[in-house]
Structure 1
Amino acid sequence: MSTARGTFNVVMTPVTAEMEGAVSRFDFTKTFLGDLEATGMGVMLSCGNPQVGEAGYVAIETVRGRIGEREGGFALQQLGRMHRGSQTLHYEVVPGSGRGAFDGIVGTFHLTIEEDGTHRYELAYEL
């Protein structure tokens, strides 16, 4: 298993809600820096009340860029939940999504957000 680490910036853009306003929708873009030099684009759907810490979301994004000499793309999927003061996040590479030098990639993606708002990632992957 190989590991890529670094930071990323994300820009979230709210768009028209789904299901008569019950489901919020966001488009987002990311810029990955560090071992993974890439850009990402995705869609997030969420429901609940995040202001009081009770919500869930799903997202899918495509990533295009490079790790070292490998260049290509893959997709990531996310499942997040907030409930009674705790948060969970499951984030992984979508099987079968690898393109170019990332054909066959599988793995998991872990993120942390520091107090200053910096987003850090660790991508553990196999090719």
Structure 2
Amino acid sequence: MHHARGTFTVKIVPLTPAPAEGLGRFSIDKEIHGDLEATTKGEMFSGGDPKAGAAGYVAIEVVTGTLGGKHGSFALQQMATMSAAGMEMKVVVVPGSGTGELKGISGTFVITIAEGKHSFDLEYELPG
């Protein structure tokens, strides 16, 4: 397994129409810097009451850029919940989504938010 680490900024914008009463729909755009230099485009759906600390979301975004000197793209799938018990988040590379020199990529993308700044650790494997 390889690791790519760095930081990112994220822009989340509400989209209309919402898919149903009580759900939200948002665009996601990231700029990623570090061992992975990339941009992303995606969508997120959310539900629950985030102001009360009880909510969840799912998202898919396509990452396009350079990882370990290899250029291509891949998709990330996210699933997160928050409740009185805390927050849980899982972000994985979507199987079969790699293109270009990143074809066949697999892995997990761990997001850390500290002092308002986002960082990541992408643990990944490439064939060969």
Task: Give yes or no for TM over 0.5.
Answer: yes
Secondary structure at the residue paired with 1:61?
strand
Quick one: distance in 2 between partners of 1:89 and 1:110? 8
Deviations 1:57-116 (A, max 9, x none): 00000000001320000000000001114000011100000000110000000010011x
Tell me, yes or no, if the aligned pair for 1:53 and 1:85 is still in contact at 8 Å.
no
Runs of 4+ in 1 over 6 A off after TM superposition: none
Q: With structure 1 as the length reference, what TM-score do the two structures score?
A: 0.96
Cα offset, 1:22, TM superposition: 1.8
Q: Which amino acid counterpart does residue 99 of structure 1 have in structure 2? A: T
TM-score (ref. length: structure 2): 0.95
After superposition, residues 1-127 of structure 1 pair within 5 angstroms as 1-16=1-16, 17-19=18-20, 21-115=21-115, 117-127=116-126
Cα distance in 1, alignment partners of residues 97 and 15 from structure 2? 26
Percent identity of equivalent pairs: 50
Distance in structure 2 (CA, Å) of the matches to 1:69 and 1:109: 18
Structural RMSD (CA): 0.8
Give structure 1 stretches of 5+ with no counterpart: none
Q: How many residues align?
A: 125
Per mean C-alpha deviation after superposition, the further-off stretch among 21-30 and 102-111 is: 21-30
